[in-house]
Chains A and B, each alone.
Chain A
């Protein structure tokens, strides 16, 4: 997936433009189905930076529910999240929290 270049006023450039990366694991039992995918896109869309999500095969736009739901990530799947642009680190924190701590407000698998 090609990441479009971000327009940024010159003076803020140093402070806010950066690239962050992290790895998350899907922990809720039902995986990244429609509603979690929507929550992910909702959170990602609150930030100006680009959000790219990858599994082993694909890189997709984290702000597109179509592409996110095509990842079809089930419980236990590892995903890489990359943010690029304004507030990149806040974005990645918020997304990591949604996936791993809030678990999309859903339950983990029963033992």
Chain B
């Protein structure tokens, strides 16, 4: 039994067998397989060699010009390696003698060869180590890609363990069988955390070298309430956790009971609660948890979970399914937020040196107008079915907003020409998630119907902290005075312009921050559906007067630590049950 402490990213308890998703970008940890599994591992390894040979032969046959001769030669060398029987035998022998996974045997054997090359004094030979690494990567891609596909076809309940999880990987998860997530990297607002919360499954992140200490198939307990993961627990621990899990479910059911009650504070101020969703299938969950609409419908997943770009019909189908669930309640569809850590199928192979400051989100859309127009067409067509709003992400200046509006207008004219119905008065809004947008909110407010503050990106861009990097993640705080001042500016400007404003970041799902946000003037909150009952519970236990006092106090403070401590104490006093 081994216990590891990380950061709790999504609540709940999961007791399940682990499935490990390794990545060719990282060293492959030594993992054991059952001796009876050895032939299967060797077969996997051989299949990977065969597939790599096929792939390379295809690549090689395309290189015909004189300049390409050199590349052809390199590929020929790689092919020779991939067909080298003594190499394959060496790897198979290692699987047999040490009972390790095919990935580990391939990686270790090839790295050993590469290190031999590096030792050679002759540069011409030592530099050839790069070729060996290239061959290793090619083989690992085959082996790991295969495993990733298997995750999409699970047949039993599992806990997913990985160094980190990308949106592309999580998009393929089968919700029925994935019961918990545990990753080495990440923070409370990393992609893994967001996905886990929207699926309503426990997650623990920032476990450092956790993937090194698990073998595929090991029983693990993921305790998302305490931020603990236990590998191969003893019977006593399993029993304890089974009881604890039961209690937790009962607690959640109790919260579900307040679903029908309105979200009003003790002094009768009405708060609107909406849900953030990614898949149309989650729409029902929002209603079940007492949400009054969708405040943020992320649409990237249409691009991430299929091997081809989605068609207009696929967009339309996903939107209309969601809208049908909500009828006349609002559904806010955010146009694609691709780039940074989320790529389309055709763009994923062109990495940028600084993706979060690069071609992402609205910038990507404005440079790929066909993709953008297709989505807007689908959104507009869907707007005939209910109360749809459209929202543009990552706006940094007025020009981008005007351009996006103009393109939307073009699409409307196209639809008019074709006599296709849509909501002519569709509300248009923007995400405020960059300091630039926050500082010019008064200008931007004139040309939109609503704002939505995305606290995750706003915090990241304001504090210049990568929220997924555990080395600096302690610097990431949405209650840093700098972030709070920007949020206050945006709220004031929106009220002045008399436009709607909501908060849709992870910040709004932290019990400690709710009172502060209410006190600052927030009246509409959109969060992951599983968190809605708890949020409503908090709202029903406080008065706006208390919240106002807290906000006044906080906005006079100059240090993040002071603010955090004050909020924790205040919340504990007013909401002892939240801890």
Chain A positions near chain B (C-beta within 8 angstroms): 30-35, 37-38, 41-42, 61, 63-67, 69-70, 72, 74
Contacts of A34 in B (CB 8 A): 74, 77, 128, 131
Determine if A65 and B77 form an interchain contact, defined as CB atoms under 8 angstroms apart: yes
Contacts of B122 in A (CB 8 A): 31, 33, 72, 74
Of the candidates A35, A66, A72, the one whose C-beta lies within 8 Å of that of B81 is: A66
- A38-B77, A41-B80, A42-B80 known; A69+B117 contact, CB < 8 A: yes
Determine if B80 and A70 form an interchain contact, defined as CB atoms under 8 angstroms apart: no
Contacts of B77 in A (CB 8 A): 34-35, 37-38, 65
Of the candidates A30, A37, A61, A72, the one whose C-beta lies within 8 Å of that of B86 is: A61
Q: Is B125 an interface residue (CB 8 A)?
A: yes
Contacts of A42 in B (CB 8 A): 80
- Give the distance in Å from the alpha carbon of A63 to the alpha carbon of B85 in the complex: 9
Contacts of B76 in A (CB 8 A): 35, 38
Determine if B86 and A67 form an interchain contact, defined as CB atoms under 8 angstroms apart: yes
Q: Is B120 an interface residue (CB 8 A)?
A: yes
- A34 to chain B minimum Cβ distance, whole angstroms, is 5
Chain B CB count within 10 A is highest, among A31, A35, A65, A70, for A65
Determine if A72 and B125 form an interchain contact, defined as CB atoms under 8 angstroms apart: yes
Contacts of A66 in B (CB 8 A): 81, 84, 86-87, 90, 113
Pairs A–B under 8 Å by Cβ, sample size 18: A31-B125, A32-B125, A33-B124, A34-B128, A35-B77, A37-B77, A38-B76, A41-B80, A61-B86, A63-B86, A64-B84, A64-B87, A65-B80, A66-B84, A69-B128, A72-B117, A72-B125, A74-B125
Name the interface residues of B99-127: CB closer than 8 Å to any CB of A. 113, 116-117, 120, 122, 124-125
Determine if B86 and A64 form an interchain contact, defined as CB atoms under 8 angstroms apart: yes
Smallest CB gap from B128: residue in A: A34
Contacts of A70 in B (CB 8 A): 113, 116-117
Q: Is B413 an interface residue (CB 8 A)?
A: no
Can you list, as one digit per residue, whether each of B118-159 has a CB less than 8 Å from chain A (1) or not (0)? Answer: 001010110010010000000000000000000000000000
Contacts of A64 in B (CB 8 A): 84-87
- Give the distance in Å from the alpha carbon of A70 to the alpha carbon of B120 in the complex: 9
Q: Is B313 an interface residue (CB 8 A)?
A: no
Q: Is B234 an interface residue (CB 8 A)?
A: no
Chain B CB count within 10 A is highest, among A31, A38, A41, A61, for A38
- Give the distance in Å from the alpha carbon of A28 to the alpha carbon of B116 in the complex: 22
- A90 to chain B minimum Cβ distance, whole angstroms, is 22
Q: Is B427 an interface residue (CB 8 A)?
A: no
Chain B positions near chain A (C-beta within 8 angstroms): 73-74, 76-77, 80-81, 84-87, 90, 113, 116-117, 120, 122, 124-125, 128, 131
- A69 to chain B minimum Cβ distance, whole angstroms, is 7
**Chain B binding site: helix, strand, loop or mixed by DSSP?**
helix
- A97 to chain B minimum Cβ distance, whole angstroms, is 20
Contacts of A38 in B (CB 8 A): 76-77, 80
- Give the distance in Å from the alpha carbon of A67 to the alpha carbon of B120 in the complex: 14
Contacts of B85 in A (CB 8 A): 63-64
- Give the distance in Å from the alpha carbon of A61 to the alpha carbon of B84 in the complex: 11
- Give the distance in Å from the alpha carbon of A15 to the alpha carbon of B166 in the complex: 64
Given A31-B122, A69-B125, A72-B122, 4 other A-B residues pairs in contact with their CB atoms under 8 A: A41-B84, A65-B87, A72-B120, A72-B125
- Give the distance in Å from the alpha carbon of A31 to the alpha carbon of B124 in the complex: 8
Smallest CB gap from A77: residue in B: B122
5 closest A-B pairs by beta carbon, nearest first, are A64-B86, A72-B120, A65-B80, A66-B87, A34-B77
Smallest CB gap from B110: residue in A: A66
- B119 to chain A minimum Cβ distance, whole angstroms, is 8
Contacts of B128 in A (CB 8 A): 33-34, 69
Smallest CB gap from B116: residue in A: A70
- Give the distance in Å from the alpha carbon of A31 to the alpha carbon of B125 in the complex: 8
- B8 to chain A minimum Cβ distance, whole angstroms, is 47
- Give the distance in Å from the alpha carbon of A63 to the alpha carbon of B86 in the complex: 9
- B52 to chain A minimum Cβ distance, whole angstroms, is 15
Of the candidates A31, A35, A65, the one whose C-beta lies within 8 Å of that of B84 is: A65
Contacts of A33 in B (CB 8 A): 122, 124-125, 128
Smallest CB gap from B85: residue in A: A64
Determine if A30 and B124 form an interchain contact, defined as CB atoms under 8 angstroms apart: yes
Contacts of B86 in A (CB 8 A): 61, 63-64, 66-67
- Give the distance in Å from the alpha carbon of A72 to the alpha carbon of B116 in the complex: 9
- B7 to chain A minimum Cβ distance, whole angstroms, is 44
- A56 to chain B minimum Cβ distance, whole angstroms, is 15
Smallest CB gap from B87: residue in A: A66
- Give the distance in Å from the alpha carbon of A86 to the alpha carbon of B84 in the complex: 21
Chain A CB count within 10 A is highest, among B77, B80, B84, B116, for B80
Smallest CB gap from A60: residue in B: B86
Smallest CB gap from B86: residue in A: A64
- B296 to chain A minimum Cβ distance, whole angstroms, is 53
Smallest CB gap from B70: residue in A: A35
- Give the distance in Å from the alpha carbon of A12 to the alpha carbon of B217 in the complex: 55
Contacts of B81 in A (CB 8 A): 65-66
- Give the distance in Å from the alpha carbon of A49 to the alpha carbon of B236 in the complex: 63
Smallest CB gap from B81: residue in A: A65
Contacts of A41 in B (CB 8 A): 80, 84
- A62 to chain B minimum Cβ distance, whole angstroms, is 11
- A32 to chain B minimum Cβ distance, whole angstroms, is 8
- A19 to chain B minimum Cβ distance, whole angstroms, is 21
Smallest CB gap from B76: residue in A: A38
- A60 to chain B minimum Cβ distance, whole angstroms, is 9
Contacts of A65 in B (CB 8 A): 77, 80-81, 84, 87
- Give the distance in Å from the alpha carbon of A64 to the alpha carbon of B109 in the complex: 15
- B89 to chain A minimum Cβ distance, whole angstroms, is 9
Smallest CB gap from B73: residue in A: A35
- B116 to chain A minimum Cβ distance, whole angstroms, is 6
- Give the distance in Å from the alpha carbon of A22 to the alpha carbon of B85 in the complex: 25
Contacts of A72 in B (CB 8 A): 116-117, 120, 122, 125
- B554 to chain A minimum Cβ distance, whole angstroms, is 64
- Give the distance in Å from the alpha carbon of A64 to the alpha carbon of B85 in the complex: 7
